[in-house]
Amino acid sequence: MNETASLSRVLAFIRERGWEYTYHEEEGCGSIDFSYRGVPYHIWEFADGERGVETNLRHGGKQEELLGDYEAELLEIMKEW
């Protein structure tokens, strides 16, 4: 599996928890889909000008964009679960 450096810590966290996931990468941007307690979550990385992710981690069914140090923010959200 070829993992982008920016999502490697998130993937390590998911693996550590033993959650099943799928990972895809295209043009240097990663995409992670996984379920936690029956709720499907996604993290889609993009590089449209500024690099960031689109995710539903914080609000389940509602998507939001995270920019800047988005990997640290993703990990903070998941650690609160």
Question: Number of structural domains, the chain?
Answer: 1
Which residue is it, tokens 């992710």? 53
Is-above-0.85 flag for pTM?
A: yes
- Asked if 43 and 57 count as a contact pair (C-beta separation under 8 A), the reply is yes
The one-digit pLDDT tens for each residue of the chain (81 residues) are: 455 566 999 999 999 999 999 999 998 899 999 999 999 999 999 998 899 999 999 988 899 999 999 999 999 999 999
- Asked if 41 and 54 count as a contact pair (C-beta separation under 8 A), the reply is no
**CB under 8 Å to 33, separation ≥6 — which residues?**
21, 22, 40, 41, 42
Q: Containing domain of residue 51, as a range? A: 5-79
